[in-house]
C-alpha cells in the first residue's frame, strides 16, 4: 500500500472512532471494516451520508481530519459536510 493510502486509512479510522456514540455502533463497525478492507473512500462517503441522515455532527477537529482525508483521496465532500466545517470555525470560505 502506498503512503497516501495508508495515511487516508489512518485518518478515517480516527474519524470513525470519534463517530462512536454519534452514529449507531453497527454502522461505525461496518465503515471501519470497509477502511480495513482498503476502501476508505467508500467508508468516507457512507459516513457523510449517515451524518447527514442522522443530522449528526462530529467535533470541529474531527471534521477537519475528515476533510483532510477527503482531499487526500480526491473525494468531494457533500454540501452538508462543508456547511458543518464552516460552522465549526473553518476559516476558508
Closest CA to 13 of 24, 52, 37: 37
Q: What's residue 18's pLDDT?
A: 94
DSSP notation for 35-47: HHTT-HHHHHHHH
Question: pTM (2 decimals)?
Answer: 0.83
How many of the other CB atoms lie within 10 Å of CB of 3? Answer: 7
CA distances, 3 to each of 9, 19, 55, 83, 89 (Å): 10, 24, 33, 30, 29
What is the per-residue pLDDT across 35-64, written as a single tens digit (0 to 9) for each?
Answer: 999 999 999 999 999 988 888 888 888 988
pLDDT band at 89; cut points 50, 70, 90 = very low
C-alpha cell recorded at residue 43? 467508508
90 vs 28: CA distance, rounded Å: 25
92 pLDDT above the threshold of 70: no
**Region 65-76: what's the mean pLDDT?**
89
Q: Domain boundaries in the chain?
A: 3-87
Amino acid at each position: 500500500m502506498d503512503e497516501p493510502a495508508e495515511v487516508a486509512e489512518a485518518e478515517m479510522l480516527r474519524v470513525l472512532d470519534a463517530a462512536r456514540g454519534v452514529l449507531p455502533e453497527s454502522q461505525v463497525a461496518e465503515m471501519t471494516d470497509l477502511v480495513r478492507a482498503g476502501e476508505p473512500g467508500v467508508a468516507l462517503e457512507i459516513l457523510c451520508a449517515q451524518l447527514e441522515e442522522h443530522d449528526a455532527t462530529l467535533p470541529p477537529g474531527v471534521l477537519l481530519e475528515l476533510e483532510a482525508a477527503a482531499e487526500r483521496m480526491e473525494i468531494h465532500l457533500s454540501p452538508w459536510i462543508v456547511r458543518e466545517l464552516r460552522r465549526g470555525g473553518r476559516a476558508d470560505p
